[in-house]
Copies of this chain bind each other. A is one copy, B any other.
């Protein structure tokens, strides 16, 4: 056996910020060197950030990524870090590019490189390209066909990229055939509720398949709708969990591994191997240090406990919101605070994300607002210490009514749009990012006003059903005084007044209005939305699953009709596997009605 101390750099890059990401790479490599690591690994596409979408098709961007890689390799050496091998993801392209109809221009690659001694030792690229859910990689990448195996301290280390772990055949299969002692996977794997359990099982399965230990380093941070949760880990060849990083925070996960020594008879060079997926992959062997170092004392391996369900969801919302604000250059947010549960939770998430002093609430009472709306909102403002102002909208409503005869829904929408006009105006005047408070239940059923309550730059709770909004509000109140959760602001009392949690939901756009006059009870509606939207279940399957037939028909009709509004909704952190936005694609013009519905 040979000893190897690896450092997994679970770091937060920004898409397009090549210089900033290179700075992070140098900084975290220095930390790894100070920790005595023999190898430090950064996530997939770390130098460019992930996902780059169509930037991959722009020649200037690909070239800048290539130059950034060479530059950071030289800089590591210049700063005395050249002896510590670094594995990082970056954007590359094929040297010889075939121009073919429908193939991504310039043949871009989702690439990985080993940096060593101021140079690039070996390059490879992702073999299995995901093209489902949030992933569109067939649009922008071509497939890699090489497995690097680098001898380090006498251990053969193979590197693969993210989806290569999720598909059968390909690089993992070749890793087994190549007899590697460690499989290092670099990832940009977005958070999904409960995905951490799936990841550990997957890593364990692939470690057994490859017949060696597996080190998994994942990105952390928010990028538009995606939230990368970290959760980096190391498992042994038998699938045992050896080390695990925390979620939603940057971390240098250090693990001391005892690994099988490589066969000294196997020399550097290239060997094609059947990848058992209909392709051939070339094993590309290099050697950095053929023999093991002298024995040294191992450090204890940190094994973080995954967060419980609600803490995990809340952590994702806070990180997604903070990074959207920060990475887009905003320093403060503004939101309409109605006295209802949705805007109350959004304000709380914002205060946790960027601090109460940077949160600005506007209270916008109308003639239909209840007394409690303003007093409850003011109580929240006081408890959290956020900024607030009151802008009554009565005069503006009357000015429109002087020119237009609107009633019913048109009149209700008018009020919602006047409110949006106020917060957008204050945003334009003062430079705040507007947060909008719609939840997934409203968004799914179209129970919101286009250009009204749905207006804004970021929608922190767009992927939470209403029942989840209530559960998270209660969870957050219960999490006061929890220094173990670093993504929470240290409020001294419950940040959300109980009155806001227990009141009956109402849009307050007409006298006595209640959500349940227009929608089913949320405890019945929400599971149906989950089954219809996330699971693509049809009418008969929904009824067979126990949902009320009349309700199924009503909700299917609402959800199908609301498609247009959802297309215009701001981005927000994804929590579930199939959400609105990039990963649910249904035509706006569409006459399809589920069988049995009218």
Contact = CB atoms under 8 A, between A and B. Distances in A.
Interface of A: 14-18, 20, 49, 51-55, 57-61, 64, 100-105, 128, 130-132, 136, 138-139, 163, 166-168, 222-224, 323-324, 327-328, 391-393, 395-396, 398-400, 402-410, 413-414, 417-418, 420-422, 424-426, 428-429, 450-451, 455, 457, 536, 538-541, 564, 567-568, 570-571, 584-595
A590 B55 contact: yes
A64 B595 contact: yes
26 contacts: A16-B593, A18-B592, A49-B590, A51-B587, A53-B585, A59-B541, A64-B592, A100-B167, A101-B167, A102-B167, A131-B138, A136-B136, A222-B589, A223-B587, A224-B588, A323-B589, A328-B588, A392-B403, A400-B425, A406-B429, A417-B451, A418-B421, A421-B451, A451-B451, A567-B571, A568-B570
Given A60-B539, A393-B403, A410-B425, 5 more contacts: A54-B586, A58-B538, A328-B589, A395-B399, A399-B399
A139 B570 CA distance: 23
Contacts of A400: 396, 421-422, 425
A404 B362 CA distance: 12
A536 B57 CA distance: 7
Q: Which of A327, A564, A590 has the most CB of B within 10 A?
A: A590
Closest 4 CB pairs of A and B: A60-B538, A16-B592, A17-B591, A399-B399
Nearest to A65: B592
A414 B410 contact: no
Given A60-B539, A404-B425, A451-B451, A585 B410 contact: no
A166 B451 contact: no
Copies in the complex: 2
Nearest to A394: B399
A443 B64 CA distance: 27
Q: Which of A422, A567, A588 has the most CB of B within 10 A?
A: A588
B541 A60 contact: yes
Contacts of A55: 586-587, 590, 592
A323 B402 CA distance: 35
Contacts of A450: 424, 455
A52 B428 CA distance: 39
A68 to B, nearest CB: 11
Contacts of A595: 60, 64
A130 B567 CA distance: 23
A49 B588 CA distance: 13
A57 B587 CA distance: 13
Given A15-B587, A586-B54, A564 B457 contact: yes
Given A131-B131, A421-B417, A587-B223, A61 B592 contact: yes
A586 B57 CA distance: 10
A90 B134 CA distance: 27
B402 A428 contact: no
Nearest to A16: B592
B102 A130 contact: yes
A396 B422 CA distance: 12
A128 B101 CA distance: 11
Contacts of A17: 591-592
A478 to B, nearest CB: 32
Contact of A60 (B396, B417, B586, B594): B594
A404 B395 CA distance: 12
Given A413-B428, A568-B570, A536 B54 contact: yes
A14 to B, nearest CB: 5
